[in-house]
Structure 1
Amino acid sequence: MTATSTVPSSESPRIEALDVLRGIAILGTLASNIWIFAAFIGSSGDPVTPEPITVAAAWLPNGKFLGLLTIMFGIGIEIQRQAARRAGRSWPGTYPIRAGLLFLDGLLNYVFVVQFDVLRAYAVTGLIVAFLLLTSERVQWWVIGIMIPLHLSMLVMKGTVLPSGPTKQTISMPSDGSLSGAQPSSYWDDVVGNLTHIGAGFSFGSEFFTIILMGVGLFLLGANLYRLGIFEPRRRILRRWLMVAGFAIGVPLDAFFAFVAPADSGGALARYGAAPIVAIGILAAVAEFYQQRRPGRIGRNLAAVGKMALSCYLLQNILGLIFQKNSASLPLFAEMDGLLGTLGLFAIISVALVAFARLWSRRFRRGPFELIWDWCYRALTRRRESAPAARPA
């Protein structure tokens, strides 16, 4: 059976759980990256929170929501492919232009905002997967079965062969729950440094390379889970098995690699190996939760962020960077408890994103960066269609 044989001919109804999951993934990546933005909180004060609690708080979101975001991108590409099929358009059609624009977004984000950007890797991975979706489902499952072990093998090799010291490019969770040893630098010094050493952001040892290897398997997995009907009532057994795999297997593995295994490879295997298994459980749990109910207040707030995921992803990085570059000069933050201050910063940025998304969506159908992206896409493709264009993510 080919990859296109199960696509319905009518327009598919909107799945509200998808927007909620996108919102969870976006705010979850903020929870993982917030430790870098809060680098100078508690740098000179005496911590109030015991160190094990701080370390556990940093570990909890690490990698899980990156994995969820990666799976959601794969689902998004499959939705775009099915939409193209229903509209009678060829696939991948103009998707390479979409991937190119996403890559440009990521490159600008990498140079001018933060080095821990995922959009560049998602653009390259999406382009690869867009063509793989032309193959049969059997071939796609074979690719998943090959890429995931290859990805895990590369994680072990990178941890045992390559230099293991954390850098600004690769760090996502501090080993001791803080970044108190970091030194402040000016914004423009960072930009110049990013441009000067831009090749490091695409190197074998960078997160860019790791996410591509991980992403091919997870993108295809997300696309095939969507095609299997993971959001449909009839797939309750599938969702339950995925929750068992995610929480009963993924969480213990993640904790083992993070706290027990050797640090050289254990940290990477936790973030990029076990954490994506947990992400699958989160995906299935949210899909199951919304089978018999509509999103409530919390769900609607998360969905508002999810509907403008690109804008909220970029805005959270911009807000975090603004705080990071200004907090080092304020003794208040240096003397604050590291965990409490970091959680406070996460809460403030999250509330700001939700409020912005809710207010913006009252007047506009797309987020600000989505509008710019859509304008560029239509200009490059000379496309003027009445139906809304596919989302960039």
Structure 2
Amino acid sequence: MKRIDALDVLRGVAIMGTLGTNIWIFTDPGGPAGFLSGAPDAGVIETFLRFLTNGKFLGLLTLMFGIGLELQYRSAVRKGLRWPGRYLWRATLLFVEGALHYVLIFEFDVLMGYAVVAMLVAYLIGRSDRAITRWMIAAGSVHVVLVSLLTAVLYLAGDQALGGSTGTTRYTEGSWPEQVAARLQDVLAFRSELVLIIPMSVLLFLLGVRLMRAGVFEVERGEPLRRKLAVLGLGVAAPINLVTSFAGPTWFAVDRYLLPPLVALGLLGLITSIVLRLGEHQGVVRRGLTSVGRAALSSYILQNLVASVLCYGWGLGLAARLDWARPWWIPALWAAICLLLAVLSALWLRRFSRGPVELAWQWAYDAPRRRESVTR
């Protein structure tokens, strides 16, 4: 099957955009809890900068995983393989990878959640369009109910919503082993978002499947669909999302989990149209995004590792040292890490077909097959 160039670019945008959200967590001296408690007090500029990325690229990345699942399903059907078959082993490896990433590096890992959702959606993807639509409606309804309940709780909490001081110096003075121990100890608190977004992820996985089947990446057939997505996401949802970003902590759930996935659809439509219009033309920006997209898992883990080393107390401690320069130094740090990712991934891919994590992951994925071959 011919490689879809727009997918690599979209993955690159999603990975860098996800860092655009996470960078505010790494650069908060209080860490993840400080990020949440400090959000209501952010100034106009910082609030706007957070609006640009908050939840949107999480939604785009989730759509990409759904599209990837559809491609895996098509490959299995084309080869006459049993489905989901070995794909469940693939999802299991993703879960293990996410668990290691969570424990060793970052509290808000998304890979564990994607693995769980992938196992569920793998059993749905081969059903009829009507059945998939029913599951999408059910998952979307549950998601809206959860967001509504959380919004009601935040409204009743009033000024206490997401507020208060964290009182921890774990991220400014603590060691790396202390942070690892905290992630293990507070696993229920840190993994609560993962559980919360499972219905949303199911919906976006299935929506990615439906968009792929509707020809969203085809030049002529997909043009009307891409135009509708851009209008819905960027023309309608984005302006409303801008309002909720400044509306206070009560609208936290709507601002992060309800409107951003719609904006992500607009980004998918717009970016895909641009890539298709450019054709084979490869500028510097596109080459960088493509390289990061081809090594998406490696880039996702590396960007969080680099941000940890630069920002936390056991590394360079920039979060505490440069807190006086907020918010200006934070976009600069994001841009520097993105540039590093683009350069390293491009250099790596000159010699290898996949990123380092992807190669290790593929080796583990093929391990049962090699064992069977040796046994025979």
TM tier relative to shorter chain: 0.7 to 0.9
Which residue in the other structure is 1:314 paired with? 301
CA distance in 2, matches of 1:286, 1:365: 24
Q: What does residue range 361-380 of structure 1 map to in structure 2 within 5 Å? A: 361-380=349-368
Tell me the amino acid that sits aligned with residue 10 of structure 2.
L
Which residue in the other structure is 2:344 paired with? 356
CA distance in 1, matches of 2:274, 2:372: 38
Check whether the contact 1:144–1:221 (CA below 8 A) recurs between aligned residues: yes
Q: Are 1:20 and 2:6 counterparts?
A: no
Which residue in the other structure is 2:269 paired with? 284
Give SS of 2:197's match: helix
Q: Are 1:66 and 2:58 counterparts?
A: yes
Q: Are 1:214 and 2:200 counterparts?
A: yes
CA distance in 2, matches of 1:383, 1:296: 44
Shift of 1:211: 2.2
Q: Percent identity among equivalent residues?
A: 40
Shift of 1:332: 5.0
Check whether the contact 1:19–1:307 (CA below 8 A) recurs between aligned residues: yes
Tell me the amino acid that sits aligned with residue 29 of structure 1.
T
Tell me the amino acid that sits aligned with residue 294 of structure 2.
K
Check whether the contact 1:35–1:342 (CA below 8 A) recurs between aligned residues: yes
Tell me the amino acid that sits aligned with residue 233 of structure 2.
G
Tell me the amino acid that sits aligned with residue 285 of structure 2.
I
Check whether the contact 1:103–1:123 (CA below 8 A) recurs between aligned residues: yes
Check whether the contact 2:9–2:289 (CA below 8 A) recurs between aligned residues: yes
CA distance in 2, matches of 1:329, 1:70: 30
Which residue in the other structure is 1:389 paired with? none
Tell me the amino acid that sits aligned with residue 208 of structure 2.
G
Question: Which of 248, 251, 256 is the matching residue for 2:235?
Answer: 248
Greater percentage in helix: 2
Q: CA deviation digits over 1:322-352, x for unaligned, max 9?
A: 11223447975244x2122111211111111
Check whether the contact 1:378–1:384 (CA below 8 A) recurs between aligned residues: no
- Of 155-164 and 80-89, more deviation after overlay is shown by 155-164
Check whether the contact 1:113–1:318 (CA below 8 A) recurs between aligned residues: yes
CA distance in 1, matches of 2:354, 2:371: 17
- Aligned-CA RMSD value: 2.6
Give SS of 1:344's match: helix
Q: Are 1:263 and 2:249 counterparts?
A: yes
Shift of 1:311: 0.3
CA distance in 1, matches of 2:363, 2:75: 20
- Note the residue ranges of structure 2 that are not aligned, 5 or more in a row: 35-41
Question: Which of 93, 97, 116 is the matching residue for 2:89?
Answer: 97
Tell me the amino acid that sits aligned with residue 318 of structure 1.
L
Which residue in the other structure is 2:126 paired with? 134
Q: Number of residue pairs matched? A: 351
Question: Which of 185, 210, 215 is the matching residue for 1:224?
Answer: 210
Q: CA deviation digits over 1:294-336, x for unaligned, max 9?
A: 342211110100001000000001001111223447975244x
Shift of 1:285: 0.6
Which residue in the other structure is 2:72 paired with? 80
Question: Which of 245, 257, 260 is the matching residue for 1:272?
Answer: 257
Which residue in the other structure is 2:39 paired with? none
Tell me the amino acid that sits aligned with residue 175 of structure 2.
S
